[in-house]
């Protein structure tokens, strides 16, 4: 028996139908007024992970990989659009839909992985926000514990208060979304301002930048051309460096595809749309919303960071003399040790050390310092500080929001304000301790299992919605058929396969002490995929 939507929508079908018939400009204007859930997606994806990933992309491969993050996000948005289509066509909560039409095992695994990610990944966001305030905005390098506690209290209080607006409904949701749009805007303007400043200095090669947006899969297997002279200078070690840099490029490309859309984003989108009481008439609006709220800010911001990092750090070593406390000299030492172990009897040379320096990770302090000649150190640090703080606080807010949704589903209390705010608070309180525990072995002990579980569950979530898109029981007449079905299945299939490959690649070497956590997760992933497919087939037959 099919369960159809009983959820009322904010605008009636006639109004949305009238908007759909408007000229393009007027239609987009009306859609912009009604946008919201897509901006929440933008707020969560523009976090510390995006900043670090974009910095590393630019540092390792220059402008050559400008195409990676936009393409990764487009594939992610294909899946998010499918999630939106299924949710808005049925009005059902996805947790229930997966349990009833695919497998309760997959539904609960999706929910638990999302909740775990919300609580653990809030920690580095508090650390990032605290560092932005102390180091970039206040110029403090070694703050006392009371200062750190005070900053974290403020971050938690602000995020919790903004979530209270959301839970109040109606105008509160509009205020919440307005604040998130403003924060995303601050992030985009701050980092895009960096590109404008660097362009004014005349240090950007715009021809190479635009060329970098053309996909170049060969960089999965060979270093960027800018390394050619430096690699040749290492003589007998050139083959080792060629393989090492190619491996690093491959890892950063695959990591970008694995992290563009996180497991908690797949949970946030459908529940934020249902919270706004969107329904079938809003399916066109939902895709537009994802485009302007997620794709545009993500591409502009990450592109700006890649450009800035590439212009300042790619194939360069001069910044390594800066005493800004934001570099990683241990990486250079470890890399040289690996090089010497691989080629015993061939001692490392200055050329080897220079190459190791070229591929060293940099951070936001180092990147901010590169603007100093143009803006002065104080302004440079403030520009980056504002952008990084905007990233962290917006992500904290959304992680808390998603955790509220997961707790409501976990305890069978959909829409319960008290349960929702308890879930928000738990995620925020976990994050509060980030600056104190998100370091060294403690960070690894938390990050490894969370990244492994989240990585394993992302392709499971994708596959679940791929199956739901083909469920006559769930979608009824809304199930795509003919050419539309072929298009959806092809695009979703490609996205799911790439997500699965990227997840397996990222997990295969993950260790938790002596435990091969990644390999265990890959086995669990395979079992869940089989359970999901057979569960879907079995449930479909019962309702045939």
Write down all domains in the chain, each with its CATH number in brackets: 38-542 (1.20.1740)
What sections of 202-222 are H helices per DSSP? 206-211
Report the 10 Å Cβ neighbour count for 542. Answer: 8
Rounded-to-integer distance, Cα 263 and Cα 273, Å:
17
pLDDT band, residue 437 (cuts 50/70/90): confident
* 475-496 pLDDT, tens digit each: 999 999 999 999 999 999 999 9
Confidence of residue 385 (pLDDT cuts 50, 70, 90): confident
Of 32-46, 69-83, 306-320, 382-396, which range is least confident? 306-320
pLDDT > 80? residue 51: no
Query: What does the buried/exposed string (b/e) look like for 401-436 if buried means 16 or more CB atoms within 10 Å of the residue's CB?
Result: bbbbbbbbbbeeeeebeebbbbbbbbbbebbbebbb
Rounded to whole angstroms, what are the CA distances from 339 to 145, 211, 234, 243? 40, 33, 11, 11
Over range 274-297, report the average pLDDT: 91
Torsion of CA 87, 404, 419, 82, to 10 degrees: 10
Please choose, from the candidates 486, 489, 499, the residue with its C-alpha nearest in 3D space to the C-alpha of residue 469: 489
Confidence of residue 442 (pLDDT cuts 50, 70, 90): low
DSSP H/E element including 16: helix 13-20
Query: Across residues 115-138, what is the average pLDDT?
Result: 89
pLDDT band at residue 4 under the 50/70/90 scheme:
very low
Rounded to an integer, the average pLDDT of 40-53 is 82
pLDDT tier at 55 (50, 70, 90 boundaries)?
Answer: confident
Residues of the chain above pLDDT 90, percent? 41
**Per-residue confidence band for 319, with pLDDT thresholds at 50, 70 and 90:** low
Six-digit token string for 503: 């997840």
**Which of residues 259 and 479 earns the better pLDDT score?**
479
Q: Which residue has the tokens 């102390």?
A: 134
Residue 324 has pLDDT above 70, yes or no: no
pLDDT the model gives residue 53: 81
Which of 157-161, 182-186, 373-377, 404-408 shows the lowest mean pLDDT across its residues?
373-377
Taking the C-alpha atoms of residue 441 and residue 83, their distance in angstroms, rounded to an integer, is 37
List Cα–Cα distances, 242 to 72, 188, 336, in angstroms.
Answer: 25, 35, 14
120 close to 438: Cβ distance less than 8 angstroms: no
Of 55, 119, 159, nearest in space to 438 by CA: 119
pLDDT of 481 reads: 94
Q: Average pLDDT, whole number, for the chain?
A: 85
pTM for this one? 0.86
Q: Write out the two tokens for 368.
A: 């901010």
Of 200, 209, 208, which is closest to residue 373 (Cα–Cα)?
A: 200
Residue 3 in this model has a pLDDT that exceeds 50: no
Helix (H, G, I), strand (E, B) or coil at 515: strand
Q: Please answer whether residues 467 and 475 qualify as being in contact, where contact means their C-beta atoms are separated by less than 8 angstroms.
A: no
Residue 397 has pLDDT above 50, yes or no: yes
Q: What is the pLDDT of residue 10?
A: 45
pLDDT confidence of residue 544: 61
Higher pLDDT residue, 199 or 490? Answer: 490
The encoded tokens of residue 233 equal 């200078």
Q: Which of 384, 223, 388 is nearest to 312 (CA)?
A: 384
Q: How many CA atoms lie within 13 Å of 92's alpha carbon, on the beta-carbon side?
A: 20
What pLDDT score was predicted for residue 6? 40
Distance in angstroms (rounded) separating the CA atoms of residues 241 and 339: 8
In 102-205, where does DSSP find H-type helix? 104-120, 122-131, 145-167, 171-201
Residues in the chain: 544
Distance of alpha carbon 416 from its chain centroid, rounded?
A: 28
Percent of the chain with pLDDT over 70: 90
Q: How confident is the model at residue 372 (pLDDT cuts 50, 70, 90)?
A: low
Say how far apart CA 94 and CA 477 lie, in whole Å. 18
Q: Could you tell me which residue, 397 or 186, shows the higher pLDDT?
A: 397
pLDDT for residue 26 is more than 60: yes
């Amino acid at each position: 028996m099919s369960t159809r939507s009983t959820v009322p929508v904010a605008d009636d079908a006639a109004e949305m139908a009238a908007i759909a018939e408007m000229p393009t400009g007027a239609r987009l204007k009306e859609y912009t007024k009604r946008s919201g859930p897509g901006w929440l997606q933008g707020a969560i994806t523009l976090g510390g992970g995006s900043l670090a990933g974009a910095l590393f992309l630019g540092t390792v491969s220059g402008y050559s990989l400008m195409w990676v993050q936009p393409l990764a996000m487009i594939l992610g948005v294909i899946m998010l659009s499918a999630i939106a289509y299924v949710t808005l066509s049925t009005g059902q909560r996805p947790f229930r839909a997966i349990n009833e039409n695919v497998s309760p095992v997959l539904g609960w695994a999706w929910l638990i992985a999302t909740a775990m990610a919300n609580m653990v990944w809030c920690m580095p966001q508090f650390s990032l926000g605290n560092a932005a305030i102390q180091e970039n905005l206040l110029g403090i390098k070694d703050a006392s514990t009371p200062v750190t506690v005070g900053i974290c209290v403020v971050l938690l209080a602000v995020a919790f208060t903004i979530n209270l607006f959301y839970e109040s409904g109606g105008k509160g949701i509009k205020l919440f979304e307005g604040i998130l749009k403003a924060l995303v805007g601050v992030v985009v303007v701050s980092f895009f301002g960096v590109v404008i400043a660097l362009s004014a200095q005349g240090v950007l090669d715009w021809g190479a930048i635009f060329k970098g947006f053309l996909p170049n899969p060969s960089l999965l297997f060979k270093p960027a051309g800018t390394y050619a002279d430096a690699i040749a200078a290492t003589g007998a070690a050139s083959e080792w460096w060629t393989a090492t840099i190619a491996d690093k490029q491959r890892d950063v490309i695959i990591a970008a595809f694995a992290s563009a859309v996180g497991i908690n984003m797949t949970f946030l989108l459908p529940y934020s749309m249902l919270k706004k009481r969107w329904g079938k008439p809003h399916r066109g609006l939902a895709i537009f919303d994802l485009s302007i709220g997620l794709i545009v800010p993500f591409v502009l911001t990450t592109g700006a960071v890649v450009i800035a990092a590439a212009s300042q750090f790619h194939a360069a070593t001069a910044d390594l003399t800066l005493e800004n406390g934001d570099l990683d000299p241990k990486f250079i030492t470890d890399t040289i040790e690996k090089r010497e172990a691989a080629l015993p009897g061939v001692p490392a040379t200055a050329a080897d050390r220079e190459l190791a320096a070229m591929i060293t990770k940099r951070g936001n302090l180092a990147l901010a310092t590169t603007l100093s000649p143009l803006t002065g150190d104080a302004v440079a640090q403030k520009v980056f500080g504002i952008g990084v703080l905007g990233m962290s606080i917006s992500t904290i807010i959304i992680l808390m929001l998603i955790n509220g949704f997961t707790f409501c589903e976990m305890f069978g209390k959909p829409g319960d304000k008290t349960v929702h705010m308890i879930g928000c608070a738990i995620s925020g309180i976990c994050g509060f301790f980030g600056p104190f525990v998100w370091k060294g072995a403690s960070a690894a002990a938390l990050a490894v299992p969370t990244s492994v579980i989240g990585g394993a569950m992302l392709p499971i979530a994708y596959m679940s919605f791929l199956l739901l898109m083909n469920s006559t029981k769930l979608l009824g007449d809304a199930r795509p058929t003919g050419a539309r079905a072929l298009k959806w299945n092809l695009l979703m299939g490609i996205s799911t396969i790439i997500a699965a490959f990227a997840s397996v690649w990222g997990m295969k070497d993950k260790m938790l002490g002596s435990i091969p956590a990644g390999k265990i997760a890959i086995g669990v992933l395979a079992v869940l995929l089989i359970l999901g497919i057979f569960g879907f087939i079995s449930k479909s037959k019962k309702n045939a």
